[in-house]
Amino acid sequence: MKAAPFEYSRPSSVAEACELLTRDEDARIIAGGQTLVPMMAMRLARPTRLVDIARIPELAFIRDDSDAIVVGGATRQAALERHASLAARLPLLARALPWVGHAATRNRGTVGGSIANADPAAEIPLVLVTLDGSIRARSTRDDKVIAADDLFEGPMATALALDACLTEVRFPTWSHARMGSAFQEISARHGDFAYVSAAAQVALDGDGKCVACAIGVGGATAAPTRLKAASAALLGGRLDDAATREAIAAEIAALDIMIDPHASPAYRRRVAVTLAHRVVIAAHDEALSRTPA
């Protein structure tokens, strides 16, 4: 299994990378290459040129803003995993990252690469959608922000233009004192693609009432899905077991569920409800254990 021939460029700036992408519509960005290289080895991808953005300094950073953690597109997943404030400020992402591939692939794989690749089972896109984050994309034509909701269009399909470079990813942080989160997934083996994954982050007031709720499911649908109706229905309540499951089941019942040789839509739908329910309850229990401000 060897890749087809291609040209290789290693630009030193985003502007230079965008210029190279504009000149050749079959050129593709490579960052960590942990998905693209196997795709090329199997000849499922045959780019004419690889534009290597892995060493562009302006793309490798992690910045703690007051209301978000902003990550450069070519930042390694392992670097984000080790970021000092991650567990406290983005506990959901801190819990999801160990599920991304294996340590050896996280050492090379990038945060932006996982998002631009848009695998329906990928964990980082699910967290981005669940937390209602956004990305920034630059091309020779424009520099724009795209909300996670508008970004993922289907399996390996995004709203990113072919000549655009994903420059940064914005993960919103919450400031509630009583916050909890949970992440779970089901796959054949740890590190394999998830059949279904679920993420939740919950915040409670001093009285135990839900003041913020974000729930998402991945793997089951063509793109990660935020359960907006269920989240809205649970706001103001106490997240009791039955009501939570009912709200989640009602929304998942209406979703288009994927089919592939590994799992039937009926299985995926059932597991999605169970996992989403479990993560909300786990996030709720964690939030309850926190002292009110």
Partner 1 sequence: MKVSLTVNGETREIDAEPRLTLLDALRDHLRLTGCHTGCEHGVCGACTVLIDGAPARACLLFAVQADGLEITTIEGLAPAPGELSLVQDAFCETHAMQCGYCTPGMVLTAHALLRDNPAPTRDAIVDAISGNICRCTGYGQIVEAIELAARRLAGSNAPAKGDAA
Would you count residue 242 as binding partner 1 (CB under 8 A)? no
Cα separation, 9 vs 157, whole angstroms: 24
Cα Rg for the chain, rounded, in angstroms? 19
Of residues 217, 139, 207, 222, the one with CA closest to residue 183: 217
Number of residues that bind partner 1 (CB under 8 A): 31
Under rule CB under 8 A, residue 199 binds partner 1:
no
d(CA 265, CA 185): 16
Contacting residue, 2, 242, 256, 293, with partner 1 by CB under 8 A: 2
Tokens of 287: 């939030």
Taking a C-beta distance cutoff of 8 angstroms, is the pair 89, 50 a contact?
no
Q: Which of 15, 41, 161, 266 binds partner 1 (CB under 8 A)?
A: 41
Rounded to whole angstroms, how far apart are CA atoms 14 and 136?
Answer: 12
**3-state per-residue secondary structure call for 109-162:** CEHHHHHHHCCCCCHHHHHHHHCCCEEEEECCCCEEEEEHHHHEEECCEECCCC
- Partner residues linked to 177 by β-bridges: none
Give whichever of 11 and 180 is closer to partner 1, judged by the CB atom. 11
Nearest CA among 132, 293, 284, 286 for reference residue 209: 284
Binder among 33, 73, 133, 216 for partner 1 (CB under 8 A): 33
* Cβ-Cβ contacts under 8 Å for 33 (sequence gap 6 or more): 108, 113
Residue 78 CB, shortest distance to partner 1, in Å, is: 7
- Among 22, 45, 58, 107, which residue interacts with partner 1 (rule: CB under 8 A)? 107
Task: Report if residue 157 touches partner 1, rule: CB under 8 A.
Answer: no
- Closest CB to partner 1 among 23 and 141? 23
Is 42 among the residues that bind partner 1 (CB under 8 A)? yes
- Residues 141, 245: Cα–Cα separation, whole Å: 46
Nearer residue to partner 1 within complex by CB, 16 or 132: 16
Q: How many helices and strands (H and E) does the chain possess?
A: 12, 14
- Interface residue with partner 1 among 15, 87, 88, 103 (CB under 8 A) is 103
- Does 84 engage in binding with partner 1 (CB under 8 A)? no
* Subset of residues 111 to 150 that bind partner 1, contact rule: CB under 8 A: none
Out of 14, 18, 28, 34, the residue judged to bind partner 1 by CB under 8 A: 34
Task: Out of 18, 20, 30, 56, name the contact with partner 1 by CB under 8 A.
Answer: 30
Residues from 250 through 289 that contact partner 1 (CB under 8 A): none
Supply the minimum distance, in Å, between the C-beta of residue 155 and partner 1.
19
Binding span for partner 1 by CB under 8 A among 14-22, 101-109, 125-133, 144-152: 101-109
- Decide: is 78 part of the binding site for partner 1 (CB under 8 A): yes
Nearest distance in Å: CB 215, partner 1 = 27
Interatomic CA distance for residues 229 and 211, integer angstroms: 15
List residues binding partner 1 (CB under 8 A). 1-8, 10, 30, 33-34, 37-38, 40-42, 50, 52, 54, 78, 98, 101-105, 107-108, 190-191
